[in-house]
Structure 1
Amino acid sequence: MPSPVESAAEDSRASFRAGVRAAIPYAAVGGLLSMSFGVLARDAGFPVEAAIVMSAVVFAGSAQFAAVAILAGGGTAGAAIAAAALMNSRFLPMGIALGPSLPGRPALRAAQGQTVVDASWAMANRGDGTFDRWFLFGSTAPQYVTWMTGTTVGALGGDTLGDTSRFGLDAIYPMFFLALLIAEIKDRRTAAIAAAGAVVALSLIEIAPAGIPVLAASLVALWGLRRREQAA
């Protein structure tokens, strides 16, 4: 009969393997998205090494695409950083929710929290306010591998791949965002907030510096979220 320690270790391995299996579809899509990012980053003037390092360190598609789009459009580094920070601000409440399910001292919990990505966080949620951390680790691992692989292929093969529209790579991320947005629109109030952000962004594209439309739309979304919470 296995000891409690051995049983716990086996449960952890089983959860990790289950996370890996569950993440395969997300990892496949992520590989295509990151390939698109690698190509776009090179087109924006990023060295190959910079594009790969950015994916390795940031590992957040929305923030990376926003930063590259702003810089490619002539925006400042400050605007790119601000937009990326707003895009990634969702990880703060996600990390707070996850924290109690992570063992160890604060530094160790912070290190484990670096594995949080949207899909993994959602799948690891047990539904009772706790999270399966080994499932989280397992589901993030293949996504990280394909994200790095796709970025490397896109950055190194940018000249061969050419225009991202050639293979439809330019449409992947906008459609991915649209799918996420549609999934989040659960009521009329949320739809109104999304529409208001879109109108503000579209109205500023032709008159504002690059990056400002994204920031403005994000601020509209934050304002709408605050109003919705106050009304609840």
Structure 2
Amino acid sequence: MSESFRRGLRAGVPFSLVGFLLAMSFGVLAVQAGFSALQAIVMSAVVHAGSAQFAAAAILGAGGGLVPSVLAGSLMNARFLAMGIAVAPSLRGGPGRRALQGQTVVDPSWALANQGDGSFDRHLLMGATVPQYVGWVTGTVAGAFLGDVAGDPDRFGLDVVFPVFFLSLLAAELRDPRSRGVALAGAMIALALVPFTPPGVPVLAAGTAALVGLAR
């Protein structure tokens, strides 16, 4: 085990603790939305992406169909395409091995592994993701199975954890004038469509504003 990997493990622990709480919230909300405990756990183990999982669960729980929920989750995860392209030159091995290494790209690990010169420390990247993955899956297990004991997540404030997390990400993005315009356009599109369209459609339509802003 390289020193860089060990540094990644240590750096990932604080994020794993936060992830545990978020995943516990997801486990509770997913079961309330109609998932079985096993389905919620498998989703966390396979997807390991909070924003996509919450979006999909929220749409399904509100009565939206499978297609809108999958599209919304995919849109939430679209950022990983650009992140993967950036980190790809720093990965080693054949296509299969590089693909497996690429599965360790999550937001905190990507930022921690960024060396500031366009390259990434792949060992630190992988090391930082290990505790985060463990925290996310075990948090989902706790939320899915303890949901009946915990009751309504509103009682503990778990329902606001993820919205606050999203708002913190949004606040950082809004420093850029173009991002503010895109966010405003997306919000107006979503608000206009909510009264007239099925759950999930406003989220997808609002996302087109971000795509137009990116193209420009």
Q: TM-score range by the shorter chain?
A: over 0.9
Q: Distance in 2 between matches of 1:28 and 1:204?
A: 37
Provide the residue aligned with 1:158 in structure 2: 147
SS of residue in 1 equivalent to 2:34: coil
Within the candidate set 58, 65, 72, 1:69 is matched to 58
Provide the residue aligned with 1:52 in structure 2: 41
Using the TM superposition, give the Cα deviation of residue 186 of structure 1 relative to its aligned residue in structure 2, in angstroms: 2.1
Question: How many residues get paired?
Answer: 216
Q: Distance in 1 between matches of 2:176 and 2:82?
A: 22
Within the candidate set 137, 148, 165, 1:148 is matched to 137
Query: Please, which runs of 5 or more residues in structure 2 have no aligned partner?
Result: none
Instruction: State whether structure 2 residue 29 is matched by structure 1 residue 40.
Output: yes
Give RMSD over aligned pairs. Answer: 1.0
Instruction: State whether structure 2 residue 191 is matched by structure 1 residue 202.
Output: yes
Query: Please, which runs of 5 or more residues in structure 1 have no aligned partner?
Result: 1-11, 228-232
SS of residue in 1 equivalent to 2:57: helix
Point out 4+ residue stretches in structure 1 off by more than 4 angstroms. Answer: none
Q: Distance in 1 between matches of 2:191 and 2:125?
A: 37
Name the % identity. 60
Letter in 2 for 1:128: D
CA deviation profile, 1:146-174 (whole Å, cap 9, x unmatched): 10111000000111111111100000000
Instruction: State whether structure 2 residue 13 is matched by structure 1 residue 24.
Output: yes
Provide the residue aligned with 2:94 in structure 1: 105
Provide the residue aligned with 1:87 in structure 2: 76
Question: What is the TM-score normalised by the length of structure 1?
Answer: 0.90
Letter in 2 for 1:92: L
Question: What is the TM-score normalised by the length of structure 2?
Answer: 0.97
Q: Distance in 2 between matches of 1:119 and 1:174?
A: 18
